[in-house]
A and B are shown apart, each in its own frame.
Chain A
């Protein structure tokens, strides 16, 4: 294919010498604006890790033979939570926990309802797929624009989160046929919540130089990868993922 070097301009934005395209510039971590946005984003992360801990412990009651492994995952989440708490302290920020608890309430309520009904598949979709994919994508996008202290901690966390995503994938892959209908329903019920959560956090994330478009696409890539691994076809996955795009 030809290069754009030879053109006058297909579009001025294609000229790498100009235009605001360097997305990886670091924000100023010391401003009040940054700290204000960080107080909510950091709280979401801390709350997310706490909920993940609680959810894995709860899943252990539904899957007693897996309780030990689930407790191990849960302990990792608590370790992450401590790391992210240290990140806030490092910047002199107090996490806005009431905001974060309310932020997670739709998914928490759905998880708790599924737990009461003994719906393992729905619980796994919410925690091990949606929340983990949400976390992985957000951490990946955060790492290049994080302060050095937080960057190091987040890089360590991301590696762990993949193992959690894998846990959910493996269980669901092994039980796909009997889980299929429940998975599709749980996807319909919960993916729009993820979309709304991303919408709500977009303005604060932008202050941290994390863009909503990136967050959504990266979330969907992680989620689609998990669904592929579980055994859904590309067409089924595209249809399921659309709930996050148009929800």
Chain B
């Protein structure tokens, strides 16, 4: 059985969802009440692959909302309790969606393996980052040419390059895709220098300088830096893959010649018949989902009950190959631009 741990994108949407699902008491509750509310198994899901294999899973809402981020202990408890619930339900492999894996990593929850009477078995969880990184690379490779961007002659900025997904994307784009140049952007300098050394290339830039040169921007950092994007400085055309969480670049940056694509989202080949991706504000919630969630499904389809994506900087090209092949085999497709404007030439050359 596979599991997905998710949460609503805001307190308001969480209350609306509760009302829609018939949890009226929760819909009326204030944030303090939600802070004390335990995680819930809100949905059971069946998915059938084009191979004919059928798997069963469960969606767990951690009852976390981003408004709780400033309450460290609450956020930590929500993640650990949701993981405990997954394990108690006998789920073999569970993806940590949305802020769940971010909180797990950044609050160093590896130190918190004991949750009441349950010793968390890390083998049962995956961040889903390998599949997310693979999907983002696929989105770059598929969509840049549709905008007239020749990747072999393009500069690709990766914002959040030293993170788990960012570094994997850099590895893939430099070794497999062969982009002209990688522009490496992140907050802390030392991990960037280490990454540059590992890649044997790439140029470290401030975000501002990178934006002035980038034909493709892969955004895998979180919210805060997005406010400093100045779309007027970006070359045209420009493909922006919004792989951050939450995804809000389109409202900030999309416009004339700038094409923003939601990154790390996949579409399944048939309707799943679930309610929860509506809460994640997917355009086609019956088929679309975060690639990290899909990773749990893929691991279940493949019988790989292991923490496939775990820790930082462990994503190898071989693992991306493996999960990418599984993704295609079981009917997932990376989200693409809907109607790209044909642009004949690469503007920066």
Contact = CB atoms under 8 A, between A and B. Distances in A.
Interface of A: 1-11, 13-14, 16, 19-21, 23, 136, 140, 158, 162, 211-214, 216-218, 220-221, 224-225, 234-235, 238-239, 241-243, 245-246
B80 to A, nearest CB: 11
A193 B71 CA distance: 27
A1 B127 contact: yes
B67 to A, nearest CB: 10
Interface of B: 21-23, 25-26, 28-29, 32-33, 35-38, 40-42, 69-74, 76-77, 81, 84-85, 88, 96-102, 105-108, 116-117, 127-129, 132, 159-166, 186-188, 191, 220-225, 243-245, 264, 290, 292, 312
A145 B290 CA distance: 39
Contacts of A16: 106-108
Contact of A2 (B23, B88, B160): B160
15 contacts: A1-B165, A1-B292, A2-B163, A3-B160, A4-B222, A6-B163, A7-B225, A8-B187, A8-B225, A19-B72, A213-B73, A217-B36, A234-B40, A234-B42, A242-B29
A221 B82 CA distance: 10
Given A221-B38, A245-B37, A7 B23 contact: no
Given A2-B166, A2-B243, A162-B117, A239 B25 contact: yes
Given A214-B77, A217-B37, A217-B81, A7 B187 contact: yes
Given A9-B224, A11-B69, 8 more contacts: A5-B188, A6-B187, A7-B222, A10-B69, A11-B70, A16-B106, A213-B74, A217-B77
Contacts of A238: 23, 25-26, 40
B97 A246 contact: no
Given A1-B102, A5-B188, A7-B225, A242 B166 contact: no
Nearest to B159: A6
A67 B181 CA distance: 79
B164 A246 contact: no
Q: Is the interface of B mostly helix, strand, loop or mixed?
A: mixed
A241 B101 CA distance: 27
Contacts of A225: 88
A52 B132 CA distance: 52
B160 A220 contact: no
A204 B114 CA distance: 26
A19 B69 CA distance: 12
Contacts of B72: 13-14, 19-21
B105 A3 contact: yes
A224 B69 contact: no
A140 B118 CA distance: 11
Given A1-B101, A6-B186, A246 B225 contact: no
A245 B28 CA distance: 11
B168 to A, nearest CB: 11
Given A162-B117, A214-B77, A218-B116, A14 B36 contact: no
A234 B198 CA distance: 49
Contacts of A242: 23, 25-26, 29
A221 B81 contact: yes
A242 B38 CA distance: 10
B243 to A, nearest CB: 7
B164 A241 contact: no
A211 B73 contact: yes
A136 B70 CA distance: 28
A220 B312 CA distance: 34
Contact of A1 (B23, B74, B98, B108): B98
Contacts of A211: 73
A234 B36 contact: no
A212 to B, nearest CB: 8
Contacts of A11: 69-70
A235 B22 contact: yes
Contacts of B77: 213-214, 217
B131 to A, nearest CB: 11
